[in-house]
Amino acid sequence: MGRRNEILQRATEVFERKGVTQTSIEDIAQAVGIKREAIYYYFRGRHDILLEIILPSSKELLTGIEAIRDSDTPGAEKLKDAVRNHLLAYDPRYLEMSVALREDLFFSDGDGKLRELQDIWHRYGDLWAELIEDGQMTGAFRSDLDAKLVSYAILGMCNWLSRWFDPKKDLSLDEIIDTYFKLTFEGIQPRG
Protein backbone atom coordinates (compact mmCIF):
# COMPACT_ATOMS: atom_id res chain seq x y z
CA MET A 1 0.00 0.00 0.00
CA GLY A 2 1.45 3.37 -0.97
CA ARG A 3 1.72 6.20 1.52
CA ARG A 4 -1.20 8.13 -0.01
CA ASN A 5 -3.49 5.09 0.20
CA GLU A 6 -2.31 4.40 3.73
CA ILE A 7 -3.23 7.94 4.74
CA LEU A 8 -6.69 7.51 3.21
CA GLN A 9 -7.22 4.15 4.95
CA ARG A 10 -6.10 5.38 8.37
CA ALA A 11 -8.05 8.64 7.98
CA THR A 12 -11.19 6.63 7.16
CA GLU A 13 -10.73 4.60 10.34
CA VAL A 14 -10.18 7.72 12.46
CA PHE A 15 -13.10 9.57 10.82
CA GLU A 16 -15.37 6.60 11.47
CA ARG A 17 -14.29 6.35 15.10
CA LYS A 18 -14.14 10.06 16.03
CA GLY A 19 -16.18 11.82 13.36
CA VAL A 20 -14.74 14.15 10.77
CA THR A 21 -15.24 17.34 12.74
CA GLN A 22 -13.46 15.87 15.77
CA THR A 23 -10.52 14.54 13.76
CA SER A 24 -7.40 16.64 13.29
CA ILE A 25 -4.61 16.23 10.79
CA GLU A 26 -2.47 15.35 13.80
CA ASP A 27 -4.83 12.43 14.60
CA ILE A 28 -4.46 11.13 11.07
CA ALA A 29 -0.69 11.54 11.09
CA GLN A 30 -0.44 9.62 14.37
CA ALA A 31 -2.59 6.81 12.96
CA VAL A 32 -0.27 6.56 9.95
CA GLY A 33 2.88 6.95 12.04
CA ILE A 34 4.20 10.04 10.27
CA LYS A 35 4.64 13.70 11.06
CA ARG A 36 1.69 16.01 10.58
CA GLU A 37 3.51 17.98 7.89
CA ALA A 38 3.88 14.83 5.75
CA ILE A 39 0.10 14.69 5.31
CA TYR A 40 0.24 18.03 3.50
CA TYR A 41 2.57 16.57 0.90
CA TYR A 42 -0.36 14.44 -0.30
CA PHE A 43 -3.45 16.42 0.72
CA ARG A 44 -4.38 20.08 1.28
CA GLY A 45 -6.24 19.21 4.45
CA ARG A 46 -8.96 17.18 6.11
CA HIS A 47 -11.63 18.10 3.55
CA ASP A 48 -9.45 16.95 0.68
CA ILE A 49 -8.90 13.62 2.43
CA LEU A 50 -12.63 13.24 3.09
CA LEU A 51 -13.50 13.87 -0.55
CA GLU A 52 -10.91 11.32 -1.69
CA ILE A 53 -12.52 8.77 0.62
CA ILE A 54 -16.11 9.44 -0.47
CA LEU A 55 -15.74 9.98 -4.24
CA PRO A 56 -14.93 6.39 -5.31
CA SER A 57 -17.93 4.88 -3.47
CA SER A 58 -20.19 7.60 -4.79
CA LYS A 59 -19.07 7.02 -8.38
CA GLU A 60 -19.67 3.28 -8.01
CA LEU A 61 -23.19 3.88 -6.68
CA LEU A 62 -23.98 6.15 -9.63
CA THR A 63 -22.59 3.70 -12.18
CA GLY A 64 -24.63 0.92 -10.59
CA ILE A 65 -27.94 2.81 -10.62
CA GLU A 66 -27.36 3.91 -14.23
CA ALA A 67 -26.92 0.27 -15.27
CA ILE A 68 -30.07 -0.69 -13.37
CA ARG A 69 -32.04 2.11 -15.00
CA ASP A 70 -30.86 1.01 -18.45
CA SER A 71 -31.67 -2.67 -17.88
CA ASP A 72 -34.75 -4.37 -19.29
CA THR A 73 -35.79 -5.88 -15.96
CA PRO A 74 -39.29 -5.17 -14.61
CA GLY A 75 -39.91 -2.38 -12.07
CA ALA A 76 -39.93 -4.58 -8.98
CA GLU A 77 -36.65 -6.22 -9.94
CA LYS A 78 -35.11 -2.84 -10.71
CA LEU A 79 -36.11 -1.67 -7.25
CA LYS A 80 -34.55 -4.74 -5.63
CA ASP A 81 -31.41 -4.27 -7.75
CA ALA A 82 -31.24 -0.60 -6.71
CA VAL A 83 -31.54 -1.51 -3.02
CA ARG A 84 -28.90 -4.21 -3.53
CA ASN A 85 -26.60 -1.76 -5.36
CA HIS A 86 -26.89 0.73 -2.52
CA LEU A 87 -26.47 -1.71 0.35
CA LEU A 88 -23.68 -3.76 -1.22
CA ALA A 89 -21.60 -0.59 -1.17
CA TYR A 90 -21.19 -1.41 2.53
CA ASP A 91 -19.16 -4.48 1.62
CA PRO A 92 -16.19 -4.22 1.45
CA ARG A 93 -16.33 -0.41 1.79
CA TYR A 94 -18.12 -0.35 5.12
CA LEU A 95 -15.89 2.32 6.64
CA GLU A 96 -16.00 4.58 3.58
CA MET A 97 -19.80 4.37 3.36
CA SER A 98 -20.17 4.96 7.08
CA VAL A 99 -18.03 8.07 6.90
CA ALA A 100 -19.84 9.32 3.78
CA LEU A 101 -23.30 8.85 5.24
CA ARG A 102 -22.68 9.82 8.85
CA GLU A 103 -21.04 13.13 8.11
CA ASP A 104 -22.65 16.29 6.91
CA LEU A 105 -20.39 17.70 4.27
CA PHE A 106 -19.55 20.71 6.36
CA PHE A 107 -17.23 22.36 3.90
CA SER A 108 -18.36 24.74 1.23
CA ASP A 109 -15.29 25.83 -0.65
CA GLY A 110 -15.37 25.90 -4.42
CA ASP A 111 -13.33 22.71 -4.72
CA GLY A 112 -13.90 20.85 -7.99
CA LYS A 113 -14.04 17.51 -6.19
CA LEU A 114 -16.80 18.81 -3.93
CA ARG A 115 -18.80 19.97 -6.94
CA GLU A 116 -18.23 16.59 -8.57
CA LEU A 117 -19.45 14.82 -5.43
CA GLN A 118 -22.52 17.03 -5.15
CA ASP A 119 -23.31 16.42 -8.84
CA ILE A 120 -22.98 12.65 -8.35
CA TRP A 121 -25.29 12.62 -5.33
CA HIS A 122 -27.82 14.87 -7.07
CA ARG A 123 -27.81 12.63 -10.15
CA TYR A 124 -28.02 9.51 -7.98
CA GLY A 125 -31.12 10.84 -6.21
CA ASP A 126 -32.69 11.82 -9.53
CA LEU A 127 -32.14 8.31 -10.91
CA TRP A 128 -33.84 6.78 -7.87
CA ALA A 129 -36.85 9.04 -8.43
CA GLU A 130 -36.82 8.08 -12.14
CA LEU A 131 -36.82 4.41 -11.20
CA ILE A 132 -39.90 4.94 -9.01
CA GLU A 133 -41.65 7.02 -11.69
CA ASP A 134 -40.97 4.36 -14.32
CA GLY A 135 -42.44 1.72 -12.01
CA GLN A 136 -45.48 3.91 -11.43
CA MET A 137 -46.00 4.36 -15.18
CA THR A 138 -45.86 0.61 -15.80
CA GLY A 139 -48.22 -0.14 -12.90
CA ALA A 140 -45.59 -1.90 -10.81
CA PHE A 141 -45.82 0.73 -8.05
CA ARG A 142 -48.59 2.83 -6.60
CA SER A 143 -49.08 6.00 -8.60
CA ASP A 144 -50.62 8.03 -5.79
CA LEU A 145 -47.24 8.59 -4.10
CA ASP A 146 -44.70 11.28 -4.96
CA ALA A 147 -41.79 9.49 -6.64
CA LYS A 148 -39.12 11.80 -5.27
CA LEU A 149 -40.47 11.46 -1.72
CA VAL A 150 -40.59 7.66 -2.08
CA SER A 151 -37.00 7.65 -3.34
CA TYR A 152 -35.88 9.83 -0.40
CA ALA A 153 -37.66 7.49 2.03
CA ILE A 154 -35.98 4.41 0.58
CA LEU A 155 -32.56 6.06 0.51
CA GLY A 156 -33.03 7.31 4.06
CA MET A 157 -33.82 3.79 5.22
CA CYS A 158 -30.82 2.41 3.35
CA ASN A 159 -28.49 5.16 4.57
CA TRP A 160 -29.45 4.62 8.20
CA LEU A 161 -27.60 1.32 7.93
CA SER A 162 -24.45 3.37 8.48
CA ARG A 163 -25.62 4.02 12.03
CA TRP A 164 -26.09 0.45 13.16
CA PHE A 165 -24.64 -2.09 10.72
CA ASP A 166 -21.51 -3.96 11.74
CA PRO A 167 -20.27 -6.43 9.13
CA LYS A 168 -18.64 -8.53 11.84
CA LYS A 169 -21.93 -8.98 13.70
CA ASP A 170 -25.55 -8.36 12.91
CA LEU A 171 -27.35 -9.73 9.91
CA SER A 172 -25.82 -10.43 6.54
CA LEU A 173 -26.22 -7.84 3.82
CA ASP A 174 -28.26 -10.34 1.81
CA GLU A 175 -30.77 -10.64 4.67
CA ILE A 176 -30.95 -6.86 5.00
CA ILE A 177 -31.39 -6.36 1.25
CA ASP A 178 -34.21 -8.91 1.16
CA THR A 179 -35.98 -7.37 4.17
CA TYR A 180 -35.61 -3.80 2.91
CA PHE A 181 -36.89 -4.77 -0.53
CA LYS A 182 -39.92 -6.58 0.87
CA LEU A 183 -40.69 -3.71 3.21
CA THR A 184 -40.33 -1.17 0.43
CA PHE A 185 -42.07 -3.04 -2.36
CA GLU A 186 -45.06 -4.12 -0.35
CA GLY A 187 -45.48 -0.53 0.75
CA ILE A 188 -45.58 0.85 -2.80
CA GLN A 189 -47.45 -1.89 -4.62
CA PRO A 190 -50.61 -0.80 -6.39
CA ARG A 191 -53.71 -1.26 -4.32
CA GLY A 192 -55.63 -4.22 -5.57
- Cα angle for residues 4, 32, 12 (degrees, 5° grid): 70
Task: Tell me which fold the domain 47-188 belongs to.
Answer: Tetracycline Repressor; domain 2 (1.10.357)
The CATH number, out of the four listed (1.10.1740.10, 1.20.1050.10, 3.40.50.2000, 1.10.10.60), of the domain defined by the range 1-43 = 1.10.10.60
What mean pLDDT is reported for the chain? 85
How far, in Å, CA of 123 to CA of 86, rounded?
Answer: 14
The CATH 1.10.10.60 portion of the chain extends over: 1-43
User: Is 102's pLDDT higher than 60?
Assistant: no
CATH 1.10.357.10 in the chain is located at: 47-188
Q: What is the H or E stretch that residue 50 is in?
A: helix 46-70
CB-side exposure of 102: number of CA atoms within 13 Å?
21
Tell me if 31 sits within 8 A of 57, measured CB to CB. Answer: no
**Reported confidence tier of residue 22, pLDDT bands at 50, 70, 90:** confident
